[in-house]
Amino acid sequence: MHRKVMIGSILVNILFLIGGLVLVQKLGGFRYLWYRIQNRGLAEVYDHRKNLFEMMPPKDSVTIFLGNSLTAYGEWAELFGRPDLLNRGIPGDGVEGVLARLPEVLRHRPDRIFLMIGINDLFFHEPDRVLKGYERLIDEIREKSPRTHLFVQSLLPVNNDLRPVGIKNETIQKLNKDLADLAKKKSVRFINLYPHFVGPSGALNPRYSLDGIHLNGEGYLIWKAALEKYVLRGTY
């Protein structure tokens, strides 16, 4: 009797395990699950920050940094000593989110936009699909704000040894290559930041990050140095 109960218990556990695996797969796989664990509570942050941006008065001829948490956590105006630099980064954002936010961004009639987006999309989609959304994003900016100089920045490497991120650097490099080709096709400036952040192992240099994906202060200084000629010297 005891043996039958034990076997029954094992079978029930196996069924629950199979059911859980099926559910995770339907939700988007283990990359999606890891993304949700890492980004608990971001929905409220996203909505609050988006609402704040919409409340701000428009400013003409500004430079806008547009993207996700990597952009959001950079104090760009202070880094460059320029009050005309606007930060329009929102943690957790992706290509579709930025597309939806473009009306707020473009109402400022920006002189320049420095765009970095796509790392969060790779939790859900393959590079080819992300690229299609990116092309729509570039086309929308150029159509609605033709005088704006758009700078497409590459994605940065990650470091899965510091903390499992859930995205491979090979995937990031593929999307970066595709973005470089797309930028050339669209006559848009592509800035390859990836090599500036790679460490000896080929991953994100641990000097620049604590969690394998976001940057510390030294990392932002590296980023600033790579952009300086485009931000301060008027290089297009």
The per-residue pLDDT for range 40-70, each reduced to its tens digit, is 446 788 889 999 999 999 999 999 999 999 9
Nearest to 230 by CA among 95, 107, 122, 76: 76
Residue 146 CA to residue 177 CA, distance in Å, equals: 25
Q: For residue 215, which phi and psi values (nearest 5 degrees)?
A: -105, 150
pLDDT at residue 28 in the model: 42
Q: Tell me the per-residue pLDDT of 174-189, one tens digit each, with 9 for 90 and over.
A: 999 999 999 999 999 9
**Mean predicted confidence (pLDDT) in 214-219:** 98
**Mean predicted confidence (pLDDT) in 194-214:** 98
Inform me whether the pLDDT recorded for 35 exceeds 50. no
Helix, strand, or coil (residue 179):
helix
Q: Which of 32-36, 49-53, 210-214 has the highest mean pLDDT?
A: 210-214
Q: Tell me the per-residue pLDDT of 134-166, one tens digit each, with 9 for 90 and over.
A: 999 999 999 999 999 999 999 999 999 999 999
Strands (E) in the chain, as ranges, are 63-67, 85-89, 112-116, 149-153, 189-191
Q: For residue 11, which phi and psi values (nearest 5 degrees)?
A: -65, -40
pLDDT at residue 232 in the model: 87
Identify the burial level of 64 via C-beta atoms within 10 angstroms of its C-beta, where 0-12 means exposed, 13-18 middle and 19 or more buried: buried
pLDDT at residue 10 in the model: 66
Inform me whether the pLDDT recorded for 30 exceeds 70. no
What would the DSSP string read from start to end of 18-36? Answer: HHHHHHHHHHTHHHHHHHH
Question: Between 147 and 10, where is the model more confident?
Answer: 147
For the chain, what is the total number of helices (H) and then of strands (E)?
10, 5
The amino acid sitting at 163 is R
pLDDT at residue 20 in the model: 45
**High-pLDDT (> 90) share of the chain, %:** 77
pLDDT at residue 236 in the model: 65
What average pLDDT does the structure give for the chain?
Answer: 88
* Structure confidence at residue 7 as a pLDDT band (50, 70, 90): low
